[in-house]
Amino acid sequence: EAEVAQSPRYKITEKSQAVAFWCDPISGHATLYWYRQILGQGPELLVQFQDESVVDDSQLPKDRFSAERLKGVDSTLKIQPAELGDSAMYLCASSPARAVAYNEQFFGPGTRLTVL
Amino acid sequence: AQSVAQPEDQVNVAEGNPLTVKCTYSVSGNPYLFWYVQYPNRGLQFLLKYITGDNLVKGSYGFEAEFNKSQTSFHLKKPSALVSDSALYFCAVRDGQRRNTGFQKLVFGTGTRLLVSP
């Protein structure tokens, strides 16, 4: 069964350092999402891609976060510099159709970030 | 803007008993409603969704959910709970009313921890 891949699974870093997370969606999925899930809360959308284009990045802290999906396949989320408040689970998800509201999203296992 | 409320942080049920996890929502347009489950240190796994039609939706692992438009609710149910159902459950809603930039984002509730005791 096809799955969304993410790496690393765990990342520990010191504040002010740069970190990067990678996501490989299910093959053929045009839409890719990055979410942040703080402990005890539900996931919150950071950025949504349609192919290689950003559709929604309204909740992305653009002073320190960046995301790209250069060839419309895999994607990288970067934080520079990391802050203590960035400690969270970062989830990647993909969906099979183009911007269809009622398609379910398929989630990867996530990257747990701890900022010391 | 759309929102979701899961009023219970935790639900406790004995194995073999029926379970209900509550969810209410608020949207401007027609709601697209979803339930996901999350096991420890894992991503979310899709259970079921309501788009339109029959108010009772059946999903994975014997779960079902009932859409109630008048009460703006979408409660998750299972007739007989298993210990392996113990996990974190998230309700999510997407407002079907499109914006100029496209469809609106999926908004998740804060989650309900289900604990099934043997």
Nearest CA in chain B to A89: B41
A64 has a pLDDT exceeding 80: yes
B62 has a pLDDT exceeding 80: yes
B69 has a pLDDT exceeding 90: yes
Contact B41 A112 (CB under 8 A): yes
A99 has a pLDDT exceeding 80: no
Are B54 and B68 in contact, with CB atoms under 8 Å apart? no
Instruction: For chain B, give the mean pLDDT.
Output: 92
Are A34 and A20 in contact, with CB atoms under 8 Å apart? no
Residues of A in contact with B92 (CB under 8 A): 42
Q: So what's the pLDDT on residue B105?
A: 85
B70 has a pLDDT exceeding 80: yes
Report the C-alpha gap between A21 and A11 in whole angstroms.
9
A97 has a pLDDT exceeding 80: no
A30 has a pLDDT exceeding 80: yes
Contact B110 A42 (CB under 8 A): yes
- Read off the pLDDT band of B30 (50, 70, 90): confident
Quote the tokens at residue B21. Answer: 């996890």
